[in-house]
């Protein structure tokens, strides 16, 4: 499963850089060759489950909004 294989890498990266400097993203449609869109994003939600609502907001939208001036 995606989460079991990847969670430690995501958590280490978030620990190193903080939720304020991280964002969840995909490389769709290329990613569909190895994982479905729903499995990928549900995996991101599972990985982020231990973070606060503010931290999740940053990783799922706030950081991208700030970085890309959206």
Where do we find the tokens 């490389």?
A: 27
Count of other CB atoms within 10 angstroms of residue 70: 7
User: Residue 16: its pLDDT value, please?
Assistant: 98
pTM above 0.85, yes or no: yes
Q: How far apart are CA 42 and CA 15, in angstroms?
A: 21
Q: How many residues does the chain have?
A: 70
Where are the domains positioned within the chain?
2-67
The predicted-structure confidence for 1-42, as pLDDT tens digits, reads as follows 899 999 999 999 999 999 999 999 988 888 788 899 999 999
Cα Rg of the chain, angstroms: 12
């Amino acid at each position: 499963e995606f989460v079991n294989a990847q969670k430690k890498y995501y958590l280490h990266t978030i620990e190193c850089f903080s939720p304020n400097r991280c964002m969840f993203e995909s490389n769709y449609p290329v990613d569909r060759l190895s994982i479905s869109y729903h499995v990928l994003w549900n995996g991101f939600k599972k990985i982020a489950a231990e973070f606060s609502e503010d931290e999740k907001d940053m990783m799922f939208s706030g950081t991208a909004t700030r970085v890309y001036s959206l």
